[in-house]
Structure 1
Amino acid sequence: MKILVPVKRVIDYNVKVRVKTDGSGVDLSNVKMSINPFDEIAVEEAVRLKEKGIASEIVVVSIGVPQAKDILRTALAMGADRAILIDATADVNQDIEPLTVAKILATIAEQERPDLILAGKQAIDNDMNATGQMLAGLLGWGQATFASRIEVTEGSALVTREVDGGLQTIRVRLPAVVTADLRLNEPRYVSLPNIMKAKKKPLDERTLASLGIDITPRLRATRTMEPPQRNAGARVASVDELIDRLKNEAGVI
C-alpha cells in the first residue's frame, strides 16, 4: 500500500509571531520555519503503518518555496521513502490557497496512485482546515477528518474522529483521504543518523508549469493585526459581589 502525505512549511510553533508594522502581513525575516505540526503527526502515522507492514511506500509532497526542501528532509528522516517538491513560488510571503493546493495534490495523486492520503487537519499559519476535504471532493474519494485513531484493513480504514459531541468511528473504503488530529500520535524524535540517511533519499523537484495549474490568489488580506490583550482578572469577596460585577460591569447577565 502506498501512502501520500502532504506537508507544509510554516513558522515553528515555538516562535512568537510578529506582525509587520504596516499591518501588511506577518514578519518572516530571520524566523525559524518547520514542518506543520499536524502534518508531522500524519507523517508519523504513515511511518507507523509501514512499521506494521501495512504500508509499503511513503511519499511526502510539499508545495511552495524551494526552502521547503528542509521540511521534506525532516519527513524523510522520520521514515518516509521519497519526497516531491512542487516549486510553486519564490515569495515566502505568498500563501497558496487551499483550493489551489487541493488541485495540485489531486494531480499528484493521479500520477502517484496512492491507496491512502494522510494529511494534517489544518495548517497552523492560516487555520483554514479545508484542503483535505477539497482534495477528497476533487478525487471523488471517501474522507475521514479529525482522526484520533486509524486502523487500516484490507480495502478500508476504520477511523475514530474527534467531533463536538465526543468521538465518532466510521469506516471508509480505500483509496481515501484522512486528516490527522492532535491526539492521533506523538511524532518521534529525529536522530542524527536518520538525518544523514535522509540526504541520500530521492527528492524530486517539479515545476508548477508541468502541472498546468494557476495559483493566482482569489483572496486578498486587507489587514493583519495582533489579537487584543486580555484584561487582568480580579478577585471578589463573595458570590453576591461576583453576580453584581457580572451584571453591572461586564454586562453578561
Structure 2
Amino acid sequence: MKIFVTVKQVPDTSGKVAVNEDGTLNRASMQTIINPDDLNAVEQALTLKEEFGYKVVAFTMGPMPAEGMLRELMAMGVDETVLVSAREFGGSDTYATSQILAAAIDTYGIEEDDIIIAGRQAIDGDTAQVGPQIAEKLHLPQVTYAGEVTKEGESLIIKRMLEDGYMLVKVPTPCMITCIKELNTPRYMSVIGTEKCWDMPLKIMDFAALENHPLIDKTTIGLKGSPTNIYKSFTPPVKGGGMILEGSDKNTTDELVSILTGKHII
C-alpha cells in the first residue's frame, strides 16, 4: 500500500519575486518554500500511514536544489522521495507538468490500493489544475477540495468542502485526492527525522528514465510543449501606507465620512 504525494517548491511570496525575459519565474534568484497546500497533503498521507501502514512516497518536479525540500519531507516522516528533474522538463505549464508527473508515478508503479494526494493548488500559479490532470492522464477517479478523509474498507470517504456546504463522496482506490488547508495542521520536522533524513536515499528520475513512457513526448513537455503562453509577468507595485484616525468621538467619525465621501467610496 502506497500513498504518492505530489509537492512543489514555490517562491516565498513574502520576499522578492524575479521574472525572466520570457515571462517565466527566475526561481534560482528567489527564496523558496514548500507549497502550503502540499503540506496539508503530506500531513494527510502521514496520518493514513500511521493508522493503516501505508508507505508514503513524495514526488516533485524541479531543479536539483529541490532536494533540500524533499529532505525536509523525509524529516517529517515521508518514507521515500523522488525528484523528477531534467533540462527537457524546464518551463512546463500545468499541462506539461501533469504529463511528466503522471509518467513518473506510473513508472514507479501504481497498485490497486494506492492513493495519490496533492494540495489543491500552488501559490505561484493558483490554477488547481495539475492534480486533476494527473488523475485524467492516469485514468483514475478524483475527488477535489477534500476537507476530511477517512478510510472504509477498500474505499475512501471524502468530505468535499464547497462554498455553500459540503458533499460526501465514496471513491475506490487507486484514486487522486486534492486537499484544502482546512483539512489539517501540518506537523513539524522531528529532531530524529532531521538527523536521519540526510542518510536516506533520494531517487532521481531524469529524461532518460521517462522518455519511453507514452506520456512523454518532446512536443508536449517543457516550455516549447506548453500550450500556455505568458503575455506579461511583473511584480505588483507596493501599496502605500494606510491612514489611522485617532479618537472615537463624533469628530473622528465625521472626518472618516468626509474622507470616504471624497474618495467616492460612499
- 1:113 is aligned, of 110, 123, 143, to 110
Partner of 2:94: 98
Structure-1 separation of matches of 2:10 and 2:164: 30
Q: Is 1:218–2:227 an aligned residue pair?
A: yes
Percent identical pairs in the alignment equals: 29
Range with bigger deviation, 157-166 or 177-186? 157-166
Aligned to 2:75: 77
How far apart are the structure 2 equivalents of 1:113 and 1:21?
A: 37
2:37/2:181 contact within 8 Å kept: yes
Report the AA paired with residue 217 of structure 1.
S
Distance 1:221 1:21, change over 3 A: closer
Distance in 1, matches of 2:198 and 2:18, equals 35
User: In the alignment, what sits opposite 1:227?
Assistant: 236
Aligned length in residues:
246
How far off is 1:147 after superposition?
1.1
How far apart are residue 96 of structure 1 and its match?
A: 2.3
Alignment correspondent of 1:192? 191
Counterpart for residue 137 of structure 1? 136
Deviation, 1:63, is: 1.0
On the 8 A contact 1:19/1:224 being kept in 2, the answer is: no
| Distance apart, 1:157 and its partner CA | 0.8
* Structure 1 residue matching 2:87: 3-state secondary structure: coil
Partner residue in 2 for 1:162: 161
Which letter maps to 1:105?
L
The residue aligned with 1:88 is: 86
Preserved CA contact (<8 Å) 1:63 1:87:
yes
Distance 1:223 1:124 in 2: 18
Deviates more, 1:104-113 or 1:128-137: 104-113
Code of the residue aligned with 1:101 in structure 2: it is: T
Aligned residue for 1:85, secondary structure, equals: strand
Helix, strand or coil for the counterpart of 1:177? strand
User: Residue 177 of structure 1 aligns with which residue?
Assistant: 176
Distance 2:232 2:83 in 1: 30
- Residues 25, 223 of structure 1: 8 Å contact kept: no
Residues 90/34 of structure 1: CA separation in 2 closer, same or farther (3 Å cut): farther
Q: Residues 23 and 167 (structure 1 numbering): CA distance in 2 closer, same or farther, change over 3 Å?
A: same
* 8 Å Cα contact 1:17/1:27 also seen in 2: no
Structure 1, unaligned runs of 5 or more: none
Question: RMSD between aligned alpha carbons?
Answer: 3.0
Secondary structure of 1:199's aligned partner: helix
The TM-score with structure 2 as length reference comes to 0.80
Q: Give the TM-score normalised by structure 1.
A: 0.83
Query: Over residues 160-195 of structure 1, what are the superposed CA-to-partner deviations in whole Å (9 max), with x where a residue is unaligned?
Result: 122121322211111110011111111111123212
* Residue segments in structure 2 that go unaligned for 5+ positions in a row: 246-251
